[in-house]
Amino acid sequence: MGKTNPERDHNLPLLLGVMGDPIIQSKSPTMHTAALQASGLRGSYLPFHVKRGDLRQAILGIRALGFRGVNVTVPHKVEVMDYIDEIDEGARYIGAVNTIVNDGGLLKGYNTDGMGYIRSLKDEVVPDLAGRKVLVIGAGGAARGIIYALLQEQPGQVIVANRTESTAQKLAAEWAHLGNIKGCGLEQIESHLPGIDVLINTTSVGMYPRTAEMPIAPDYIPEGIVVSDLIYNPLQTELLRQAKQRGCTVHNGVGMFVYQGAYAFEYWTGQPAPIEAMKAAVLASLD
């Protein structure tokens, strides 16, 4: 799916990295180093602590130093769009870039977060999303990427439930042409749960260290559906623990992280990503 850089000297090692503030917590270097090794590719993937105000200079450095590409993480995913040459259609819709590919000095931005999540969801728990009724909790940056990718799968309906109802309704109106989507407030969620096939939490509620919290009351979780949580620290959130007790199939955020990285790896190298090696490296780093 990715393409190699026709102007890159293939005798040189690949230069790759990730930019963010903070960056020390990132598992991307561990994951991508494992991917390079498993693929037999010479190269390095390095973390770069880029502060607000320094992003433009850092992106210029990508060109000057001959980097093949970088990932971009918080807080730079939106601002970085101002400093690159081309933006993929999906990334433009979502309004954020997390992957940059350098083709002979031309920098193109992609967003692999949503597509990585959907690939993980389909591979692990729901092979076919067509016609499914999906409820997404949250309407922030992560939700936008996921909902955009989800709408490409022809679901029966997507309901976006958000603490601020107007944000959910605005998102639904913006993307109404892409599929059957509606927005509601979190306090209205109970009335939308009957008939739901997949429930997705895109918020940070339940993330370490506040692991006892849940985005919705446990009694609201329909029995036997698929429940997915973007969080992977802890691997089993309280939402997923309660969902399991209600006979649900559960899905955590490790797959999304691995697959968003896999798409980036494929864009940079033109080779299939070694998914299992990447996942094993991430899980080992979480122990």
Nearest CA-CA partner of 204 in 217, 220, 215, 196: 215
Collapsing DSSP to helix, strand or coil, 126 comes out as coil
User: Per the annotation, does 117 bind a ligand?
Assistant: no
User: Per the annotation, does 26 bind a ligand?
Assistant: yes
User: Per the annotation, does 138 bind a ligand?
Assistant: yes
User: Per the annotation, does 180 bind a ligand?
Assistant: no
Instruction: Report the greatest alpha carbon distance in the chain.
Output: 60
User: Per the annotation, does 255 bind a ligand?
Assistant: no
| Rounded Cα–Cα distance for residues 170 and 148 (Å) | 14
**279 given a catalytic annotation:** no
Q: Do 216 and 137 touch, CB atoms closer than 8 A?
A: yes
User: Per the annotation, does 107 bind a ligand?
Assistant: no
Helix or strand (DSSP H, E) at 245: helix 238-245
User: Per the annotation, does 90 bind a ligand?
Assistant: no
User: Per the annotation, does 229 bind a ligand?
Assistant: no
The DSSP bridge pattern shows strands 69-72 and 99-103 to be antiparallel
Q: Do 253 and 200 touch, CB atoms closer than 8 A?
A: no
Say which of 3, 51, 77, 182 is annotated catalytic: 77
User: Per the annotation, does 204 bind a ligand?
Assistant: no
Q: Quickly list DSSP for 147-181.
A: HHHHHTT--SEEEEEESSHHHHHHHHHHTGGGSSE
User: Per the annotation, does 82 bind a ligand?
Assistant: no
Binding residues: 26-28, 73, 89, 98, 113, 138-142, 230, 232, 253, 260
Positions marked active-site: 77
Binding residues for NADP(+): 89, 138-142, 230, 253
Binding residues for shikimate: 26-28, 73, 98, 113, 232, 260
